Structure 1
Amino acid sequence: MPDLAGKIAVVTGAASGIGLATTKALLAEGARVVMVDWNENKLSELVGELGKAVIPQVTNLLDADSCNRMVPEILEKVDHIDILHCNAGVYVGGDLTDTTPEAIDRMLNLNVNAVMKNVHAVVPHMIERKTGDILVTCSVAGHFPTYWEPVYSGSKWAINSFVQGMRRQLIPHGIRVGEISPGPVVSALLADWPEENLRKAKEAGGLIDPEEVAEAIVFMLTRKRNVTIRDIVILPSNFDRV
């Protein structure tokens, strides 16, 4: 099994949830990790905790200029990028009529536009090197028309299409592209869930931990180069609505 020692990974939304769990898992495999997040104070705290193999990158993916500067700024700090994990995202649940145009714009800008722009920025670098891995945090909601969260589900269906299109486009360049599609994960994204729904899910064992998603990501990245894990759907065993 190929290892990740010496690889340089970029993880967005790295200061919490799946991003933080993935950062720790990659560090344990010997990788260096550029942690991307908007929260400068939290990044500084985590750098002190996680050590010298972590490189902080303060980027606000909802700010167009900051988003566009992300990859160039990272390449001023490291000489190449082996892995890009586009993980940052936001959740909007409930009926369409319960949300606002502003919330829809924010979700699409972060869950869709920022992912496409980050991949757009890193692809020329990886094509030049003739190697690389691009992973995106999707969701089971990108595979199933989840009527209780149509805005979120719509954003993840868009990303599912984008990822699988880019996977095919980048095969000739030695770049692997895939996605991880979790069910409900214990993370800040669930802060928008109705309290009663969250309580019921916890009691029913309908949630998984970010570390379990990170383990699957490490599995994807450590396959031989002739193998691409195009998508892993990882669910709580008691999540029975799909």
Structure 2
Amino acid sequence: MTGKLNGKVAAITGSASGIGLASAEAMLAEGARVVCIDRDRAALEAMRARLGDAVIPLVIDLLDPKDCATLLPRVLELAGRLDILHANAGSYVGGDLVDNDNAAIDRMLNLNINVVMKNVHDVLPHMIERGSGDIIITSSLAAHFPTPWEPVYASSKWAINCFVQTVRRQVFKHGIRVGSISPGPVITALLADWPAEKLQEARDSGSLLDAREVGEVVTFMLTRPRGMTIRDVVMMPTNFDL
């Protein structure tokens, strides 16, 4: 631990598992206090028991508009300030579009796009007032490559890629950095919806990332000098293109 985030308060959505959990662990290791936001109360409490009091559990159902709107005031109530938002919560819909369920499409687009935009919108006034802040959004390699087996998911990440790049241009004058992390396939629960043959192919070829590796890149982005913005990191397994 180098303590590069000592004194910082971070909030991470979808932090009870996967990339969100790995990001929380990496920021904690650098000295941050982390408000861990998820709808899974038991998982959040287990995190705090395992990782210590620097973990601040916050149960929010981000798909409930009224609950989602409480994110910033509740973070400020619990931690007093907010320096970092990692908008990480998301879901996955894969496979052929013709086979997808409309309700599942609506839920995924709401979580992957609308919730992210609302979370960023709600924290910006606090960061602008303080003249500093970091916002990182979990995107995907799918935002940069037209993945034929996941048109709905990929479209949500293409939208988020545009959102990141445009908002970044609006708020850098306020001392706020906005960037995204775009990993290739990561070993998380989201892969449960992958076509079985694609998942087995990725496992056999060594074409999956560990969530811990993504968390380490997130902290790299956050710990650069303030005059440097890491706009987007695309990371993939070396064997991905096999």
Q: TM-score range by the shorter chain?
A: over 0.9
Q: Distance in 2 between matches of 1:214 and 1:189?
A: 17
For the 8 Å contact 2:86–2:138, the answer to whether it is kept is: yes
2:205 corresponds to: 204
Q: How does 1:85-100 map to 2 (within 5 A)?
A: 85-100=86-101
Q: CA deviation at 1:2?
A: 8.6
1:80 corresponds to: 81
For the 8 Å contact 1:2–1:222, the answer to whether it is kept is: no
| Identity percentage of aligned residues | 60
Q: CA deviation at 1:195?
A: 2.3
Give the partner amino acid of 1:12.
Answer: T
Q: Distance in 2 between matches of 1:125 and 1:30?
A: 22
Give the partner amino acid of 2:220.
Answer: F
1:137 corresponds to: 138
1:183 corresponds to: 184
Gaps of 5+ in 2: none
Give the partner amino acid of 2:190.
Answer: L
Map Cα deviations across residues 27-48 of structure 1 (whole Å, 9 max, x no partner). Answer: 0101110000000111111111
Q: CA deviation at 1:196?
A: 2.5
Q: Does 1:53 align with 2:54?
A: yes
2:24 corresponds to: 23
The TM-score, its normalising length taken from structure 1, stands at 0.97
Runs of 4+ in 1 over 3 A off after TM superposition: none
Give the partner amino acid of 1:89.
Answer: G
SS at match of 1:238: helix
1:120 corresponds to: 121
For the 8 Å contact 1:2–1:224, the answer to whether it is kept is: no
Q: CA deviation at 1:100?
A: 1.1
For the 8 Å contact 2:3–2:31, the answer to whether it is kept is: no
Give the partner amino acid of 1:86.
Answer: A
Q: CA deviation at 1:199?
A: 1.6
For the 8 Å contact 2:36–2:56, the answer to whether it is kept is: yes
Q: Distance in 2 between matches of 1:208 and 1:144?
A: 17
Q: How does 1:58-77 map to 2 (within 5 A)?
A: 58-77=59-78
Q: CA deviation at 1:84?
A: 0.1
SS at match of 2:238: coil
Q: Distance in 2 between matches of 1:101 and 1:93?
A: 13
Gaps of 5+ in 1: none
Give the partner amino acid of 2:239.
Answer: N
Q: How does 1:214-233 map to 2 (within 5 A)?
A: 214-233=215-234
For the 8 Å contact 2:167–2:178, the answer to whether it is kept is: yes
Give the partner amino acid of 1:85.
Answer: H
Q: CA deviation at 1:6?
A: 1.4
Q: Distance in 2 between matches of 1:137 and 1:234?
A: 12
Map Cα deviations across residues 33-91 of structure 1 (whole Å, 9 max, x no partner). Answer: 00000001111111111111010010111111111111111111111100000000001
Give the partner amino acid of 1:236.
Answer: P
For the 8 Å contact 2:3–2:29, the answer to whether it is kept is: no
Give the stretch that moved more between structures: 69-78 or 230-239.
Answer: 69-78
Q: Does 1:39 align with 2:61?
A: no
Q: CA deviation at 1:203?
A: 1.0
The TM-score, its normalising length taken from structure 2, stands at 0.97
Q: CA deviation at 1:194?
A: 2.2
For the 8 Å contact 1:2–1:223, the answer to whether it is kept is: no
Matched residue pairs, number? 241
